[in-house]
C-alpha cells in the first residue's frame, strides 16, 4: 500500500503499521519560524472509510482518548474531519520500542528482563490504567472505561524509560453501546469472562496485565503453543500455572501478585489497578530494590540499542553509541550475567536476584538509613 506524502496539514514521514480497522503514520506538523512537531497520525483504512461501524468505533476511540491526560497513557492531541482526506486522530510520538519488540529481543538473545524491572513496567501500566478506569464525565458520573486490549503491542516504552499504554481503539465505556456476544481483543490476553463474551469491567484489564506480567517473567506465552479454538477454551477455563513452573529465579512476592491478578473470578483479583500498582511498590520496597525509569532505559539500550528512529529528522550531534552510555543501577544485562530461561540458578549457577541486589545494594542502604531516621524501625517494617 502506498504511503501518502501528506494528510491534511501533516507531512507523512513513514507508515508505522496497521490493524484491522486503522493505520498509523509518523508525521511532522510544521509551525512558525521553522518549528515542527513529530507526532503519530491515525486514520481508518481506505477500504473501510465508508463503513458506519468503523467510523463509529473510530469516533468513540477519539471521544475516550481525548479525555485522558496521564504520564502513563499516550497523549491524544486532536481529532478532526478533513473531508476528502477523512478523519484523522493525532497523538504523541513515543520514540522507542513497544513491549513486544523487547520480548522478541530477549528471546533472540536467550535472556530475560530482570524481574524487578518487569515489575516496574507493570506498575507503570497499572497506574495509567487506574487513571483511565477512574475517569468521570463532566457531571461527575463514572465513565467506567475498560481498555479490553492490554497487550505487549499496546505498551510503549521510550528510550528514556517511560512506559505508556496506547490504543483505546476497542475500549468500552458506559457512554457507548456494547455489542453483546462479540469478542473484542487478543485471545491470548483475554480474561475468562472476556473470552466468554460477557460484560466486562476494569478487572478484565487487571487480568490482561497479569498475563503480560506472567509472560515477561517466564519468557513464554501464558498458554504455551495453544491457538485457535483450543486457546479460546483454555482461556475460558481460567486455568493458570504459576510463573515458577516455567522459569527459575522468579521472586515469590512477584509471583503472588501475578497469580492474584490472574484469578479466575474477578472478585478474587485486585479490585483496582491502583491496588496492583501498590502491591508492586511494596514488593520492591520490601526487597530494597531501586528500580526506576533509568533501570528500564539501560535494559532497552542493551536489548534493542538506541538507533535513531525518526527518518527525515537530523540526529543531534551528541547522540553516541550504546557502549558510551553508563548502565543504570539494578538493570544491567551484561554478557556475564545474562540468564537463559532454562539456566540453573542454584549452587554453581547464576542467581538473578542476588546479582541484581548486589548491583543496587549500596544505594539502597542509604535510602533505608534515611527512612529509619524519619519514620523509625517499626514504621519501616510496616511499609
Verify whether residue 137 is a known catalytic residue.
Answer: no
Q: What is the CA radius of gyration of the chain?
A: 22
C-alpha torsion sign, points 45, 104, 277, 289: negative
- Distance, in Å, from the CA atom of 313 to the CA atom of 291, rounded to the nearest integer, reads 32
CB 109 within 8 A of CB 338: yes
Name which of 81, 80, 82, 84 is nearest 66 in CA terms: 80
Give me the helix-helix angle, 99-108 and 293-304, nearest 10°. 50
Q: Please give the backbone phi and psi of residue 341, each rounded to the nearest 5 degrees, phi first.
A: -55, -30
Name which of 92, 73, 81, 70 is nearest 24 in CA terms: 92
- Distance, in Å, from the CA atom of 266 to the CA atom of 199, rounded to the nearest integer, reads 12
Give me the helix-helix angle, 252-261 and 202-218, nearest 10°. 140
Q: Which of 98, 149, 167, 205 is catalytic?
A: 149
Q: What is the DSSP string of 215-241?
A: HHHHTS-TTTT--HHHHHHHHHHT---
Instruction: Pull the grid cell for residue 125.
Output: 501500566
The catalytic site residues sit at 149
Amino acid at each position: 500500500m502506498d504511503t501518502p506524502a501528506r494528510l491534511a496539514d501533516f507531512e507523512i514521514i513513514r507508515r508505522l503499521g496497521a490493524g484491522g480497522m486503522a493505520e498509523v503514520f509518523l508525521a511532522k506538523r510544521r509551525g512558525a519560524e521553522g518549528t515542527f512537531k513529530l507526532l503519530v497520525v491515525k486514520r481508518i483504512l481506505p477500504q473501510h472509510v465508508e463503513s458506519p461501524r468503523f467510523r463509529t468505533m473510530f469516533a468513540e476511540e477519539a471521544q475516550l482518548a481525548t479525555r485522558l491526560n496521564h504520564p502513563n497513557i499516550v497523549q491524544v492531541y486532536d481529532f478532526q474531519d478533513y473531508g476528502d482526506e477523512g478523519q484523522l486522530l493525532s497523538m504523541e510520538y513515543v520514540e522507542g520500542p513497544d513491549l513486544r519488540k523487547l520480548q522478541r529481543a530477549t528471546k533472540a538473545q536467550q535472556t530475560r528482563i530482570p524481574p524487578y524491572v518487569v515489575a516496574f513496567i507493570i506498575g507503570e501500566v497499572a497506574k495509567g490504567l487506574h487513571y483511565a478506569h477512574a475517569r468521570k464525565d463532566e457531571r461527575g458520573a463514572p465513565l467506567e472505561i475498560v481498555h479490553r486490549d492490554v497487550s505487549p503491542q499496546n505498551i510503549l516504552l521510550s528510550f528514556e524509560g517511560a512506559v505508556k499504554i496506547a490504543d483505546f481503539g476497542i475500549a468500552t465505556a458506559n457512554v457507548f453501546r456494547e455489542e453483546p456476544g462479540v469478542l473484542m481483543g487478543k485471545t491470548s490476553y483475554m480474561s475468562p469472562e472476556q473470552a466468554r463474551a460477557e460484560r466486562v469491567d476494569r478487572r478484565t484489564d487487571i487480568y490482561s496485565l497479569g498475563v503480560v506480567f506472567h509472560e515477561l517473567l517466564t519468557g513464554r506465552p501464558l498458554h504455551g503453543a495453544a491457538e485457535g479454538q483450543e486457546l479460546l477454551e483454555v482461556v475460558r477455563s481460567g486455568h493458570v500455572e504459576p510463573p515458577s513452573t516455567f522459569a527459575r529465579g522468579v521472586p515469590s512476592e512477584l509471583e503472588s501478585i501475578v497469580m492474584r491478578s490472574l484469578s479466575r473470578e474477578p472478585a478474587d483479583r485486585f479490585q483496582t489497578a491502583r491496588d496492583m500498582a501498590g502491591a508492586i511498590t511494596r514488593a520492591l520496597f520490601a526487597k530494597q530494590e531501586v528500580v526506576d525509569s533509568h533501570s528500564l532505559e539501560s535494559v532497552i539500550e542493551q536489548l534493542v540499542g538506541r538507533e535513531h528512529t525518526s527518518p527525515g529528522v537530523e540526529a543531534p550531534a551528541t547522540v553516541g553509541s550504546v557502549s558510551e552510555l553508563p548502565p543504570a543501577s539494578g538493570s544491567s544485562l551484561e554478557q556475564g550475567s545474562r540468564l537463559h530461561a532454562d539456566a540453573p540458578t542454584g549452587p554453581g549457577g547464576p542467581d538473578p536476584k542476588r546479582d541484581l541486589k548486589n548491583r543496587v545494594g549500596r544505594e539502597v542502604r542509604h535510602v533505608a538509613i534515611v527512612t529509619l531516621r524519619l519514620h523509625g524501625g517499626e514504621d519501616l517494617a510496616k511499609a
